[in-house]
């Protein structure tokens, strides 16, 4: 059965790769066309070749910046997953707690991160931890929202069965609600993975070259100040690469966890 599906899966991968390269080629061709048709100065809008040269010339800075941003985004994402899951558990256990505090979680999400970052820099300093804190804040809401919904959306028949046998809240949480919320946690983490890179770069942009680190956001700030458009665009593409890699890694982990979880969890089987 698996052998029958392998050729199909391989064809899908090849087809996806071809489409990706085709879109990239069209994008590069359009880029050149815009420059030459509208007469943009190469200082204002550099060509793809100039951006590639700038990236090569500054490869050491871009590599270190990419590592710093990736570490900050990943650390903030992991902290947000842990903290957000704990808050979601508290919300699921008490309706009063949920009604009292959830509006503040929503409020935190609606405040622009560019307004929060300068305050956190004043309070926490020009440090790596400040970048992580900003990343955690921007990643929290999808985790809390998805996990809370997953914990509350338990199968009614299973929930009634647990109550019938006198199972307490704690055991019901551990044996029914948490197993049923795994998929919601994975979905929330996927959403937050893209936000993590945004949060890290915004914080780095405000911090600049901090102590012992200079992420992509700091490099963008520096090169923007000197009007180095080619280097700035190279950093932009590096940040896009970080976002794609982080999202892809989280999605791969999510798919692996869910595949194994659905196959082994009695709660998920019964719910299905």
Same domain, 133 and 30: no
Sign of CA dihedral 207, 210, 70, 134: negative
pTM of the model: 0.83
Same domain, 188 and 212: yes
Same domain, 9 and 123: no
Find the CATH number of the domain harbouring 217: 1.10.3720.10
Contact 95, 169 (CB under 8 A): no
Q: Which residues contact 210 (CB under 8 A, 6 or more apart)?
A: 126, 127, 128, 130, 131, 204, 218
Same domain, 18 and 126: no
Q: How far apart (Å, rounded) are the C-alpha atoms in residues 235 and 61?
A: 10
| Number of independent structural domains in the chain | 2
Q: Three-state SS for 83?
A: helix
Q: What is the mean pLDDT of residues 34-40?
A: 87
Q: Please count the other Cβ atoms lying within 10 Å of the Cβ belonging to residue 122.
A: 10
The yes-or-no verdict on residue 182 having pLDDT over 80 is yes
The yes-or-no verdict on residue 269 having pLDDT over 90 is no
Tokens found for residue 1: 């059965």
What are the residues facing 210 on neighbouring strands? 213
Name the residue with higher pLDDT: 19 or 196: 196
Q: Cα 206 to the chain's mean position, in Å?
A: 20
* 44-52, long-range: CB < 8 A, 24+ apart: 44/229, 45/229, 46/229, 46/230, 46/233, 50/230, 51/230, 51/233, 51/234, 51/237, 52/234
Same domain, 56 and 113: yes
Tokens found for residue 77: 């994402």
Residue 1: the pLDDT is 45
**Domain hosting residue 144, numbered range:** 46-271
How does residue 48 score in pLDDT terms, banded at 50, 70 and 90?
very high
The yes-or-no verdict on residue 164 having pLDDT over 70 is no
Q: How far apart (Å, rounded) are the C-alpha atoms in residues 227 and 47?
A: 15
* pLDDT 10s digits, 200-238: 999 998 887 655 567 899 999 989 888 899 999 999 999
Token look-up 């030459």 returns: 36
Q: How far apart (Å, rounded) are the C-alpha atoms in residues 59 and 238?
A: 10
Same domain, 262 and 142: yes
How does residue 270 score in pLDDT terms, banded at 50, 70 and 90?
very low
What are the residues facing 169 on neighbouring strands? none
Q: Which residues contact 187 (CB under 8 A, 6 or more apart)?
A: 146, 254
Name the residue with higher pLDDT: 13 or 124: 124
Q: Please count the other Cβ atoms lying within 10 Å of the Cβ belonging to residue 136.
A: 23
């Amino acid at each position: 059965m698996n052998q029958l599906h392998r050729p199909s899966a391989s064809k899908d991968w090849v087809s996806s790769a071809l489409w990706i390269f085709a879109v990239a080629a069209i994008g590069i061709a359009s880029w050149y066309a815009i420059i030459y048709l509208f007469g943009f100065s190469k200082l204002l809008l550099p060509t793809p070749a100039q951006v590639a040269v700038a990236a090569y010339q500054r490869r050491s800075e871009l590599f270190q910046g990419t590592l710093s941003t990736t570490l900050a985004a990943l650390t903030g994402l992991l902290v947000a997953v842990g903290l957000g899951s704990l808050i979601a558990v508290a919300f699921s256990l008490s309706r009063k707690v949920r009604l009292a505090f959830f509006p503040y979680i929503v409020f935190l999400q609606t405040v622009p991160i560019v307004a929060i970052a300068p305050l956190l820099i004043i309070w926490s300093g020009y440090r790596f931890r400040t970048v992580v804190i900003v990343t955690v804040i921007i990643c929290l809401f999808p985790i809390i929202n998805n996990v809370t919904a997953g914990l509350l959306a338990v199968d009614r028949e299973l929930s009634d069965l647990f109550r019938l046998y006198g199972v307490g809240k704690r055991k019901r949480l551990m044996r029914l609600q948490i197993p049923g919320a795994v998929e919601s946690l994975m979905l929330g983490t996927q959403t937050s993975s893209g936000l993590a890179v945004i949060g890290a770069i915004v914080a780095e942009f405000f911090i600049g070259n901090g102590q012992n680190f200079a992420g992509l956001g700091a490099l963008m700030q520096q090169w923007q100040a000197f009007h180095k458009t080619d280097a700035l665009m190279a950093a932009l593409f590096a940040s896009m690469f970080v976002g794609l890699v982080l999202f892809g890694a989280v999605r791969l982990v999510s798919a692996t966890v869910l595949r194994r979880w659905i196959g082994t969890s009695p709660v998920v089987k019964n719910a299905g």
